[in-house]
Structure 1
Amino acid sequence: MLSGELADELRAHLFPGDGLEAAALLLCTVTGERRQKWLGREIICVPHTHCTRRPDFIKWPGEYVEAAIDRAAVRGDAVIAIHAHPGGLFAFSHADDESDHLLMPAIRAGTDRMAGSAIMIPSGAMRARLYEDDRATPVDLVMRAGTDIEAWWNDEATASGSSKPAMAFTCDMRTSLARLSVCVIGVSGTGSIVAEQLARLGVGEIILIDFDSIEERNLNRILNATLADIGGLKVEMFADAIRRYRSDCEVISVPRSVATREAVLAACEADILVSCVDSAEGRHVADRLSAYFAMPLFDVGVAIPTEPLLLGGRRIVEVYGRIDYVYPGGSSLMDRGVYDAALLEAEYLARTAPQALAKKIADGYLLGMPEEAPGVITLNMRAASTCVMELIARLFPFRQFANETHARSIFMLAEGDEDVFAESQFKYGSRFPVGQGAAEPLIGLPALAEQRRDA
């Protein structure tokens, strides 16, 4: 898994425009137990002038391998040696095999970890393989998470190049989605609709995270929920519903708050995150998950602000939905003002010292009006559908304009308007490190650190 920024840096070095091979070393954080992922964290570029370079050959000094081993040892990283194939050969050559036979044992011995090698062609597509011993094991998927989400599957590649993304909305798209894992955080008003659409579209694995139980007041907006489900866990109900029509879908239910160690470790094994929460804390965790585990993130929110009337009562000011797409190394939800430190603190006070917020109205969907069972499923449907359409657009581009222009979409139903915001309109704050994986404390939050077990 590579952030768009790291992949672009790597491509710029490997293809300087002279048609000759070039090399680099990628330091990776290895994470995940059920689904192992190698997260690109740092690139060590081998200077072109220090190499013997030809269109189909490269020789580079061992001092850069030693530097990579030394740097990797500090954090326990793994090392992948990468070189360019400027001629476009999207396969490992016999010369590559011979080079790996000499290089991989040296890297494994120096890091005491698996090592890898990879090739990149001018389009930026990559193939990789790992060495635990003398045998090479192909990496199933290399993914670049930037303004577009590019997925290069090993078994779909040929020597002439990588397969093109499937056409959106076709059976081929469903086949591609069947190979991906998507984590949905929050399985309520918008989350249940997002999860339903992902399941019906054919996503192969869906991880559901929600700590809450179903209440009668939820039945008007949580898909598949019935009177018989009241009191049961949302994730268990929804997982059972998916299994009734998708025997081929792996559904993993996590009945925990996303702000728990168990939930974070489950979420990080997905390929893509979708945040459907209604709290600043939930979005803060999703933000950190996206950066630390180099995962693309889609966040959806809805609101119906109201205002008082002079003669009493209230009126609706607007009915709106917001969809943000965040990629590792880009602007975060916090950078974009979706939440801030003050809101995080307010939520903390509400949990630990509710008397400190006694003067604040507990707002729900209708801001300023307490509503136990608001009729908002139509709004939720619109927002959830827009969110999933954004996911499709990133994986299977169909727009007649660049996806970069749609970092955020906001629709306003009362006004009858829709605004879009480009990634360049948001200031990147470098808030969270990219590709750190499960380093302690988990996602940089001391509360999620692994508890020490005293002997």
Structure 2
Amino acid sequence: MKRRHTLVLPQKLADELRAHLFPGDGLEAAALLLCTVTGKRRSKWLGREVICVPHAECTRWCDFITWPGDYVEAAIDRASARGDAVIAVHSHPDGLFAFSSADDESDRVLMDAIRHGTGRCPGSAIMIASGAIRARIYEDDRATPVDLVMKAGADIETWWNDGATGSGPLKPAMAFTGEMRASLSRLSVCVIGVSGTGSIVAEQLARLGVGEIILIDFDEIEERNLNRILNATLADIGALKVEMFADAIRRYRSDGEVISVSGSVATREAVLAASEADILFSSVDSAEGRHIADRLSAYFAMPLFDVGVAIPTEPLPGGGRRIAEVYGRVDYVYPGGSSLMDRGVYDAALLEAEYLARMAPHALARKVAEGYLRGMAEEAPGVITLNMRAASACVIELIARLFPFREFANETRARTIFMLAEGDEDVFAESEFRNRPCFPMSDGTAEPLLGLPSLAVQRRVA
């Protein structure tokens, strides 16, 4: 999967930009987009802030615009203070989805000014009325197309430079077709946790044709895992889960790339590897793992799919226990929306409980006995039938948001919970969750990484 530049816009930012650029009068409008730039294997531009140029201060036509330099200077000042890059954006109300000769001429002056002011490569972009964006980055005075512009929201909208024409972007593929597979082959997806549920998620992604799959897991295969980890055999006992699974994918895929990271997601190496992906899947059974995934989603503007299963039991009057319910849960989180923490998937008490379980198990027992921490829900070992049901529901959410096929809005399915004993399914809309600004959006690799001191660069002391 070859790609040089990706621009990601959280839904709130993209909507703000569109509302300003298309006020309804049919004339061009302008704005400046401040971005964090991350990535080693390819650059990822994360939209962080929009500076709107007031319509009244511009000279506007239906196919041309001039605007005062004061706003460029303001953008340079704000970008320089944080190390951001600047992309100048304007609208094409006539629907031209390409850069005009007038745009080229304007960029010759504007891009040079932004480069000298910020010390970073600048960019320019156009938006048409549908909200689709086409962008380019100026490296050494030459424009390089941005391969992918992605809007990360309730729907995941992708606008590829390859395949776009002056009349518009490439139309989204139809779900469940060969065209969908071709489209997925352009994307990079990270799966955190490659065990009972995660292995099934990863298997689906690989067979659907996802172009690059990043696998993160620290654990080794044990004999007790063989009943639920796909592709694992007796010969794999003692092997790292990610290595086994990566090898399995390579045996039936010759057209994709698999990257395995054999370590905890709560390490700097794993976080940086995950941040290179376009989309994130969390299939972990710990609060810490979900906390890291939550922060990754916000800091790197990544859509996040989180899946979990549980089989709670209850005591019988005459002794013994019975199954109270069989649950599967899928949450979809996007940057700027409610987080997993907002939704109560985990909280500070669970994070502390896990820390104490590792570092001071006796202190944990005392705290639980005293009622200081609520008891951690005990998850039964995942059985493959339950895991498959949950993992399938999770990957279906990805397909529905990239290739819309539902007769209702994806906004109404921020969370899905199915209950097999009761035979019911509950769905929750994004609007039903409290949205607090838990984590900064599009901060990228700002130190400490993910805002966590434990992930900060370790400096040597002489």
Q: TM-score, normalised by structure 2?
A: 0.96
Report what 1:365 is aligned to. Answer: 379
Which amino acid is 2:315 matched to?
Answer: P
- Please give the per-residue CA displacement for 1:279-336, whole angstroms capped at 9, x wherever unaligned: 0000000000000000000000000010011111100000010000000000000000
2-structure distance, mates of 1:153, 1:375: 39
Report what 1:386 is aligned to. Answer: 393
2-structure distance, mates of 1:351, 1:186: 19
Ranges in structure 2 where 5+ consecutive residues have no aligned partner: 1-7, 369-374
Question: Number of residue pairs matched?
Answer: 448
Among 269, 272, 294, the residue aligned to 1:265: 272
Contact residue 114 and residue 130 of structure 1 kept, 8 A:
yes
1-structure distance, mates of 2:387, 2:158: 29
The offset of 1:357, in angstroms, is: 2.9
1:397 lines up with 2:404 in the alignment: yes
Which amino acid is 2:321 matched to?
Answer: R
Among 197, 204, 213, the residue aligned to 1:206: 213
2-structure distance, mates of 1:132, 1:196: 38
Contact residue 82 and residue 117 of structure 1 kept, 8 A:
yes
The offset of 1:454, in angstroms, is: 3.7
2-structure distance, mates of 1:375, 1:289: 26
- Please give the per-residue CA displacement for 1:353-412, whole angstroms capped at 9, x wherever unaligned: 01123477886533xxxxxxx461100000000000000000000000000000000000
Among 248, 270, 295, the residue aligned to 1:241: 248
1-structure distance, mates of 2:378, 2:223: 16
Which amino acid is 2:43 matched to?
Answer: Q
1:56 lines up with 2:63 in the alignment: yes
The offset of 1:47, in angstroms, is: 0.5
Which amino acid is 2:416 matched to?
Answer: S
Q: Say what the alpha-carbon RMSD is for the aligned residues.
A: 1.1
Report what 2:137 is aligned to. Answer: 130
Which amino acid is 1:4 matched to?
Answer: Q
SS for the counterpart of 2:312 is strand
2-structure distance, mates of 1:279, 1:35: 30
1-structure distance, mates of 2:98, 2:448: 39
Alignment of 1:113-192 (within 5 A): 113-192=120-199
1-structure distance, mates of 2:84, 2:147: 20
1:109 lines up with 2:116 in the alignment: yes
1-structure distance, mates of 2:382, 2:217: 22
1:452 lines up with 2:462 in the alignment: no
1:97 lines up with 2:104 in the alignment: yes
Among 414, 422, 436, the residue aligned to 2:443: 436
Report what 2:371 is aligned to. Answer: none
The offset of 1:436, in angstroms, is: 0.5
Among 26, 30, 52, the residue aligned to 2:33: 26
Report what 1:281 is aligned to. Answer: 288
1:84 lines up with 2:95 in the alignment: no
Contact residue 204 and residue 250 of structure 1 kept, 8 A:
yes
Among 315, 323, 334, the residue aligned to 1:316: 323
SS for the counterpart of 2:111 is helix
Contact residue 220 and residue 375 of structure 1 kept, 8 A:
no
Contact residue 309 and residue 382 of structure 2 kept, 8 A:
no
Contact residue 350 and residue 376 of structure 2 kept, 8 A:
no
Percent of aligned positions that are identical: 82
Which amino acid is 1:325 matched to?
Answer: Y
Are residues 339 and 47 of structure 1, via their aligned partners in 2, closer, same or farther at CA, if it must alter by over 3 Å?
A: same
2-structure distance, mates of 1:357, 1:197: 38
Contact residue 192 and residue 265 of structure 2 kept, 8 A:
yes
1-structure distance, mates of 2:219, 2:86: 41
Q: TM-score, normalised by structure 1?
A: 0.97
1-structure distance, mates of 2:135, 2:292: 30
2-structure distance, mates of 1:453, 1:159: 53
Are residues 375 and 258 of structure 1, via their aligned partners in 2, closer, same or farther at CA, if it must alter by over 3 Å?
A: closer
Report what 1:68 is aligned to. Answer: 75
The offset of 1:184, in angstroms, is: 0.1
Alignment of 1:290-369 (within 5 A): 290-358=297-365, 364-366=378-380
2-structure distance, mates of 1:365, 1:64: 54
1-structure distance, mates of 2:79, 2:203: 42
The offset of 1:36, in angstroms, is: 1.2
Report what 2:11 is aligned to. Answer: 4
